[in-house]
Amino acid sequence: MEILDHEPYRWFLLEDSGNLLLDANCNHGFIGYDFLVQLTPEETREYRRRGRDYLDWLSEDIHNSAPILDASTSAYKGRDLSSVHGVRVGEAIKRWLSSGADAVA
> What pLDDT is recorded for position 105?
46
Confidence of residue 103 (pLDDT cuts 50, 70, 90): low
- The tally of domains found in the chain comes to 1
C-alpha dihedral sign at 8, 44, 36, 21? negative
Q: Looking at residue 43, what is its pLDDT?
A: 98
Q: Mean pLDDT throughout 75-91?
A: 94
What does the pLDDT look like over 36-46, one tens digit per residue? 999 999 999 99
pLDDT tens by residue, 21-79: 999 999 887 788 999 999 999 999 999 999 999 999 999 999 999 998 888 899 999 99
Supply the range of the domain harboring residue 75. 2-103
Q: How many CA atoms lie within 13 A of 23 on its CB side?
A: 28
Predicted confidence (pLDDT) at residue 20 exceeds the cutoff of 80: yes
